[in-house]
Copies of this chain bind each other. A is one copy, B any other.
Amino acid sequence: MTYCCAVKLNAGLVFASDSRTHAGVDNIGRFSKLHVLEQPGERVITMLSAGNLSVTQGAIEHLHRAVRQGAVMNWTNVPSMADVAMLLGQAMREVRERDEPYLAKSGIDASASFLLGGQIQGERPRLFLVYSEGNAIEATAETPFLQIGEIKYGKPILDRVIRPEIGLLDATKCVLVSFDSTMRSNVSVGLPIDLQLLPINHLRADMKFHIDEQDAYWRELSDRWAVGVRRVFAELPPPQWYPDTQQ
Protein backbone atom coordinates (compact mmCIF):
# COMPACT_ATOMS: atom_id res chain seq x y z
CA MET A 1 0.00 0.00 0.00
CA THR A 2 1.01 3.60 -0.52
CA TYR A 3 0.39 6.84 1.27
CA CYS A 4 1.30 10.16 -0.34
CA CYS A 5 0.37 13.62 0.80
CA ALA A 6 1.13 17.11 -0.47
CA VAL A 7 0.25 20.52 0.92
CA LYS A 8 -0.01 23.91 -0.78
CA LEU A 9 0.71 26.83 1.54
CA ASN A 10 1.24 30.51 0.98
CA ALA A 11 4.85 29.74 1.92
CA GLY A 12 5.29 26.96 -0.63
CA LEU A 13 4.73 23.23 -1.01
CA VAL A 14 5.38 20.17 1.14
CA PHE A 15 5.49 16.63 -0.30
CA ALA A 16 5.72 13.30 1.50
CA SER A 17 5.42 9.65 0.51
CA ASP A 18 6.16 6.30 2.03
CA SER A 19 8.33 3.99 -0.05
CA ARG A 20 6.87 0.55 0.40
CA THR A 21 5.64 -1.27 -2.69
CA HIS A 22 3.61 -4.45 -2.71
CA ALA A 23 3.13 -7.08 -5.31
CA GLY A 24 1.68 -9.77 -3.08
CA VAL A 25 2.66 -10.41 0.50
CA ASP A 26 5.91 -12.22 -0.30
CA ASN A 27 7.22 -9.45 -2.51
CA ILE A 28 7.49 -6.17 -0.64
CA GLY A 29 10.03 -3.86 -2.20
CA ARG A 30 11.10 -0.31 -1.65
CA PHE A 31 10.85 2.11 -4.51
CA SER A 32 10.91 5.82 -4.05
CA LYS A 33 7.53 7.30 -4.95
CA LEU A 34 8.91 10.84 -4.99
CA HIS A 35 10.21 12.01 -8.36
CA VAL A 36 11.68 15.40 -9.15
CA LEU A 37 12.06 17.25 -12.45
CA GLU A 38 14.20 20.35 -12.11
CA GLN A 39 15.69 23.24 -14.01
CA PRO A 40 17.28 25.03 -11.07
CA GLY A 41 16.20 28.65 -10.78
CA GLU A 42 13.56 28.23 -13.47
CA ARG A 43 11.21 25.36 -12.57
CA VAL A 44 10.89 22.56 -10.03
CA ILE A 45 8.30 19.80 -10.43
CA THR A 46 7.68 17.06 -7.87
CA MET A 47 5.55 13.98 -8.44
CA LEU A 48 4.32 11.48 -5.85
CA SER A 49 2.94 8.26 -7.28
CA ALA A 50 0.50 5.58 -6.18
CA GLY A 51 -0.91 2.52 -7.88
CA ASN A 52 0.61 0.23 -10.49
CA LEU A 53 4.37 0.83 -10.35
CA SER A 54 5.01 -0.04 -14.01
CA VAL A 55 2.35 2.49 -15.05
CA THR A 56 3.71 5.33 -12.89
CA GLN A 57 7.33 4.65 -13.84
CA GLY A 58 6.23 4.36 -17.48
CA ALA A 59 4.41 7.70 -17.34
CA ILE A 60 7.46 9.47 -15.89
CA GLU A 61 9.71 7.86 -18.49
CA HIS A 62 7.27 9.17 -21.09
CA LEU A 63 7.90 12.74 -19.84
CA HIS A 64 11.67 12.24 -20.18
CA ARG A 65 11.31 10.66 -23.63
CA ALA A 66 9.35 13.69 -24.83
CA VAL A 67 12.32 15.90 -23.94
CA ARG A 68 14.82 13.53 -25.60
CA GLN A 69 12.72 13.47 -28.75
CA GLY A 70 12.36 17.26 -28.77
CA ALA A 71 8.56 17.29 -28.40
CA VAL A 72 7.09 20.75 -29.01
CA MET A 73 5.49 20.65 -25.59
CA ASN A 74 7.41 18.98 -22.79
CA TRP A 75 7.97 19.57 -19.09
CA THR A 76 10.98 21.80 -19.71
CA ASN A 77 9.19 24.35 -21.86
CA VAL A 78 5.46 24.55 -21.01
CA PRO A 79 4.60 27.85 -19.31
CA SER A 80 2.37 26.56 -16.52
CA MET A 81 2.14 23.77 -13.94
CA ALA A 82 -1.36 23.12 -15.32
CA ASP A 83 0.29 22.18 -18.62
CA VAL A 84 2.63 19.79 -16.81
CA ALA A 85 -0.38 18.16 -15.17
CA MET A 86 -1.93 17.73 -18.61
CA LEU A 87 1.30 16.23 -20.00
CA LEU A 88 1.48 13.77 -17.11
CA GLY A 89 -2.17 12.82 -17.59
CA GLN A 90 -1.57 12.21 -21.30
CA ALA A 91 1.54 10.18 -20.50
CA MET A 92 -0.46 7.97 -18.15
CA ARG A 93 -3.19 7.49 -20.75
CA GLU A 94 -0.65 6.39 -23.34
CA VAL A 95 1.07 3.95 -21.00
CA ARG A 96 -2.27 2.48 -19.94
CA GLU A 97 -3.43 2.21 -23.55
CA ARG A 98 -0.24 0.33 -24.39
CA ASP A 99 -0.13 -1.99 -21.35
CA GLU A 100 -3.62 -2.35 -19.94
CA PRO A 101 -4.94 -5.00 -22.38
CA TYR A 102 -2.05 -7.27 -21.38
CA LEU A 103 -2.40 -6.55 -17.65
CA ALA A 104 -6.15 -7.16 -17.83
CA LYS A 105 -5.55 -10.67 -19.19
CA SER A 106 -3.83 -11.50 -15.90
CA GLY A 107 -6.38 -9.65 -13.80
CA ILE A 108 -3.82 -6.97 -12.85
CA ASP A 109 -5.09 -3.53 -11.97
CA ALA A 110 -3.45 -0.87 -14.15
CA SER A 111 -4.79 2.11 -12.25
CA ALA A 112 -2.40 4.70 -10.85
CA SER A 113 -2.43 8.30 -9.76
CA PHE A 114 -0.08 11.17 -9.03
CA LEU A 115 0.21 14.18 -6.83
CA LEU A 116 1.99 16.75 -8.97
CA GLY A 117 3.19 20.05 -7.64
CA GLY A 118 5.83 22.65 -8.18
CA GLN A 119 6.59 26.10 -9.43
CA ILE A 120 7.51 27.57 -12.79
CA GLN A 121 9.05 31.01 -12.73
CA GLY A 122 6.35 33.64 -13.26
CA GLU A 123 3.66 31.48 -11.67
CA ARG A 124 2.80 30.78 -8.06
CA PRO A 125 3.38 27.24 -6.72
CA ARG A 126 0.56 24.91 -7.73
CA LEU A 127 -0.53 21.44 -6.73
CA PHE A 128 -2.60 18.88 -8.65
CA LEU A 129 -3.97 15.38 -8.30
CA VAL A 130 -3.73 13.55 -11.62
CA TYR A 131 -6.23 10.71 -11.67
CA SER A 132 -5.84 7.29 -13.21
CA GLU A 133 -7.94 8.44 -16.17
CA GLY A 134 -5.54 11.31 -16.88
CA ASN A 135 -7.77 14.16 -15.71
CA ALA A 136 -6.68 16.39 -12.84
CA ILE A 137 -7.94 18.56 -9.99
CA GLU A 138 -6.05 21.40 -8.34
CA ALA A 139 -5.63 22.20 -4.65
CA THR A 140 -7.27 25.47 -3.59
CA ALA A 141 -7.24 27.65 -0.49
CA GLU A 142 -10.31 25.75 0.77
CA THR A 143 -8.66 22.39 0.08
CA PRO A 144 -4.97 23.07 0.60
CA PHE A 145 -3.86 19.43 0.85
CA LEU A 146 -4.26 16.43 -1.45
CA GLN A 147 -3.67 12.75 -0.73
CA ILE A 148 -3.45 9.51 -2.71
CA GLY A 149 -3.29 5.86 -1.63
CA GLU A 150 -4.22 4.91 1.93
CA ILE A 151 -5.59 8.37 2.73
CA LYS A 152 -8.20 8.06 5.46
CA TYR A 153 -6.33 7.20 8.65
CA GLY A 154 -4.15 10.27 8.30
CA LYS A 155 -6.79 12.76 7.18
CA PRO A 156 -8.28 13.89 10.52
CA ILE A 157 -5.10 15.67 11.71
CA LEU A 158 -4.68 17.37 8.32
CA ASP A 159 -8.31 18.53 8.49
CA ARG A 160 -7.63 20.04 11.92
CA VAL A 161 -4.31 21.77 11.22
CA ILE A 162 -3.59 22.53 7.57
CA ARG A 163 -4.46 26.09 6.52
CA PRO A 164 -2.76 28.09 3.72
CA GLU A 165 -1.34 30.52 6.31
CA ILE A 166 0.71 28.05 8.34
CA GLY A 167 4.44 27.73 7.78
CA LEU A 168 6.33 25.03 5.89
CA LEU A 169 7.73 23.49 9.05
CA ASP A 170 4.37 23.35 10.81
CA ALA A 171 2.87 21.71 7.74
CA THR A 172 5.78 19.25 7.62
CA LYS A 173 5.20 18.39 11.27
CA CYS A 174 1.49 17.85 10.55
CA VAL A 175 2.18 15.67 7.51
CA LEU A 176 4.53 13.51 9.58
CA VAL A 177 1.89 13.09 12.30
CA SER A 178 -0.52 12.09 9.53
CA PHE A 179 1.97 9.42 8.42
CA ASP A 180 2.39 8.24 12.00
CA SER A 181 -1.38 7.70 12.35
CA THR A 182 -1.52 5.89 9.00
CA MET A 183 1.36 3.57 9.86
CA ARG A 184 -0.13 2.67 13.22
CA SER A 185 -3.43 1.68 11.60
CA ASN A 186 -2.12 0.05 8.42
CA VAL A 187 1.09 -1.95 8.67
CA SER A 188 1.46 -2.01 4.90
CA VAL A 189 2.36 1.70 4.92
CA GLY A 190 5.84 2.01 6.39
CA LEU A 191 9.06 3.91 6.81
CA PRO A 192 11.15 5.27 5.21
CA ILE A 193 9.35 8.49 4.30
CA ASP A 194 10.60 10.66 1.46
CA LEU A 195 9.97 14.30 2.16
CA GLN A 196 10.48 17.43 0.12
CA LEU A 197 9.98 21.10 0.91
CA LEU A 198 9.59 23.64 -1.88
CA PRO A 199 9.58 27.17 -0.46
CA ILE A 200 7.93 29.70 -2.74
CA ASN A 201 10.29 31.20 -5.34
CA HIS A 202 13.10 28.92 -4.16
CA LEU A 203 12.94 27.04 -7.50
CA ARG A 204 15.43 24.41 -6.40
CA ALA A 205 14.91 20.82 -5.29
CA ASP A 206 17.56 20.89 -2.58
CA MET A 207 15.33 20.25 0.41
CA LYS A 208 14.77 16.54 0.23
CA PHE A 209 14.85 14.42 3.37
CA HIS A 210 14.75 10.70 3.96
CA ILE A 211 13.24 9.60 7.25
CA ASP A 212 13.97 6.07 8.43
CA GLU A 213 13.74 4.10 11.67
CA GLN A 214 16.91 5.75 12.99
CA ASP A 215 15.65 9.30 12.53
CA ALA A 216 15.72 10.93 15.97
CA TYR A 217 13.21 13.62 15.09
CA TRP A 218 10.69 11.09 13.78
CA ARG A 219 10.99 8.99 16.95
CA GLU A 220 10.57 12.04 19.19
CA LEU A 221 7.57 13.26 17.19
CA SER A 222 5.88 9.86 17.19
CA ASP A 223 6.47 9.30 20.93
CA ARG A 224 5.43 12.78 22.04
CA TRP A 225 2.33 12.69 19.86
CA ALA A 226 1.30 9.31 21.32
CA VAL A 227 1.83 10.51 24.88
CA GLY A 228 0.11 13.84 24.23
CA VAL A 229 -2.96 12.35 22.55
CA ARG A 230 -3.38 9.84 25.35
CA ARG A 231 -3.06 12.64 27.91
CA VAL A 232 -5.71 14.77 26.18
CA PHE A 233 -7.94 11.71 26.01
CA ALA A 234 -7.43 10.93 29.70
CA GLU A 235 -8.34 14.52 30.60
CA LEU A 236 -11.65 14.40 28.73
CA PRO A 237 -14.60 14.05 31.12
CA PRO A 238 -16.28 10.63 31.19
CA PRO A 239 -19.93 10.37 30.12
CA GLN A 240 -22.24 11.45 32.92
CA TRP A 241 -25.51 9.86 31.83
CA TYR A 242 -25.07 6.73 33.86
CA PRO A 243 -22.89 7.38 36.88
CA ASP A 244 -23.55 3.89 38.24
CA THR A 245 -22.02 2.20 35.23
CA GLN A 246 -18.55 3.35 36.27
CA GLN A 247 -16.40 0.24 36.37
Interface residues, chain A, CB within 8 Å of chain B?
11, 152-153, 155-157, 159-161, 167-170, 172-174, 176-177, 181, 184-185, 197, 199, 207, 209, 217, 220-221, 224-226, 228-233, 235-242, 245-247
Contact = CB atoms under 8 A, between A and B. Distances in A.
A185 B173 contact: no
Interface majority SS (helix, strand, loop, mixed), chain A: helix
Given A172-B239, A209-B241, 12 more contacts: A156-B156, A156-B184, A160-B184, A160-B229, A167-B247, A168-B247, A169-B239, A169-B246, A177-B236, A217-B239, A224-B236, A225-B236
A43 to B, nearest CB: 20
A232 B177 CA distance: 11
A232 B233 contact: no
B174 A233 contact: yes
Nearest to A150: B152
Nearest to A9: B247
A231 B235 CA distance: 13
Given A159-B184, A220-B237, A242 B177 contact: no
Nearest to A200: B247
13 contacts: A153-B155, A156-B185, A160-B230, A169-B245, A172-B239, A173-B238, A174-B233, A207-B245, A224-B235, A225-B233, A228-B232, A228-B233, A229-B229
B159 A242 contact: no
A141 B238 CA distance: 23
